Amino acid sequence: MLSRPTPEPAAVPGLPAPGRCLVMGVVNVTPDSFSDGGQWLEPEQAVAHGLELVEQGADLVDIGGESTRPGAQRPPVEEELRRVLPVVRRLSDAGAVVSIDTMRAEVAVAAVEAGAQLVNDVSGGLGDPAMLATVADLEVPYVLMHWRGHSDRMQQRAEYADVVADVVSELRPRLQAALAAGIDSDRVILDPGLGFAKTAEHNWALLANLDAVHALGRPVLLAASRKRFLARLLGDADNTRDPSSLDAASAAVSTLAAAAGVWCVRVHVVPAVVDAVRVVARLAAEPVGSAAR
């Protein structure tokens, strides 16, 4: 017997609310992101890829100009702006719902001016002291991720007494800081940050205990797609295979996350996940027990 998926996730003002888990397609406009670095570095390629993701059913397209792979060096802010702005502008103009993946307030402002409707900050406001107040002024939804430091040193910080309890107790004050800065509570989405200062075991523990993150009372976004812990599970500890070899496992995690009630899954390859979240929503709508027969 399948366990019954949780009811549909809460809607976030200003963003699509199709009554099922949302699917966010990823376009990394970087030379060095782990799974798709360099593929969409030219604006034309990035825009075409973003439009393809929308065509395939992505509800949102996440545009990032800074790689967060372990050990990555940060680009200067001018370079980040140069990478993302034309792509954000053209995809927004074409009607896509665009998310800007940035830790910098300056990039968030410019991207929202160019049409982005969501700020996705993997640093949860810790990377730039101006970020939370800036997002409050921008009046857009904000993804606040669990984070313990930049990519060059985050893996040294993957130490927890109890990863689930520790991530929740570190997310809580970040949520409070976001509200204190003036971000409307309806606009905050939380993310446990798979792979960020976390080992494979930490990621699995968080996935098995998403209810603890949901208990913070906000919608949850989950990004497992093509991450190293999936390569390890599949017997590729050095992660040397083509990243696309992780897409079936990525879709499986996204499906399970949708069934656990997450608001949105962030993925590199969209079609199978769009179908999967629709299956989850259909199953969630089905009565169970004697009333069903």
Chain residues that interact with ligand PMM, rule: CB under 6 A: 26, 28, 33-35, 68-69, 101, 120, 122, 143, 145, 191, 193-194, 221, 223, 226, 266
Backbone CA torsion sign across 134, 136, 138, 140 = positive
Contact in structure between 63 and 99 (CB atoms under 8 Å):
yes
Q: How far is the CB of 288 from ligand PMM (least distance, A)?
A: 32
User: What are the C-alpha distances in Å from 37 to residues 63, 110, 250?
Assistant: 13, 23, 18
Q: Is 198 a catalytic residue?
A: no
Of 266, 278, 282, 293, the catalytic one is 266
What phi and psi values does residue 266 have, to the nearest 5 degrees? -105, 120
Taking the least distance from each CB to ligand PMM, the nearer of 101 and 128 is 101
Of 83, 187, 227, 228, the catalytic one is 227
Taking the least distance from each CB to ligand PMM, the nearer of 121 and 255 is 121
Contact in structure between 68 and 151 (CB atoms under 8 Å):
yes
Cα(207)–Cα(212) distance, rounded to whole angstroms?
10
Q: How far is the CB of 30 from ligand PMM (least distance, A)?
A: 8
Contact in structure between 134 and 116 (CB atoms under 8 Å):
no
Taking the least distance from each CB to ligand PMM, the nearer of 66 and 81 is 66
Taking the least distance from each CB to ligand PMM, the nearer of 155 and 279 is 155
User: What are the C-alpha distances in Å from 91 to residues 27, 45, 54, 236, 273?
Assistant: 11, 12, 10, 35, 21
Q: How far is the CB of 183 from ligand PMM (least distance, A)?
A: 16
Q: How far is the CB of 121 from ligand PMM (least distance, A)?
A: 8
Residues with a known catalytic role? 227, 266
